[in-house]
């Protein structure tokens, strides 16, 4: 989980080598959208609900769906990012 002031995205050298400049930019835009949106906080809250009440399937379902929605939000944000 990132620190409060963290603005660092870590990529492997294999990912950098495999991606074109445009693809790399899109990946970075996507990950920066997660950071700006503080998506890790929502994921942590959902995980806490599952951990404290594991018997309730609704919380497991919500955690899974929340993760998918946050990915789509980051995708949409990255798609709107200016190219350059």
pLDDT in tens, the chain (84 residues): 555 566 788 999 999 999 999 999 999 999 999 999 999 999 999 999 999 999 999 999 999 999 999 999 999 999 998 765
**pLDDT score at 83:** 66
Mean predicted lDDT score pLDDT of the chain: 90
**pLDDT score at 81:** 80
Q: Is the pTM here over 0.75, yes or no?
A: yes
59: CB partners within 8 A, 6+ apart: 46, 49, 50, 53
Question: What share of the chain in percent tops pLDDT 90?
Answer: 83
Half-sphere CA count of 50, side-chain side, radius 13 A: 16
């Amino acid at each position: 989980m990132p620190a409060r002031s963290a603005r660092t995205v870590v990529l492997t050298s294999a990912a950098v080598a495999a991606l074109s400049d445009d693809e790399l930019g899109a990946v970075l835009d996507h990950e920066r959208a997660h950071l700006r949106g503080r998506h890790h906080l929502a994921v942590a809250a959902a995980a806490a609900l599952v951990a404290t009440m594991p018997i309730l399937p609704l919380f497991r379902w919500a955690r899974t769906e929340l993760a998918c929605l946050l990915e789509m939000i980051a995708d949409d944000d990255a798609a709107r990012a200016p190219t350059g």
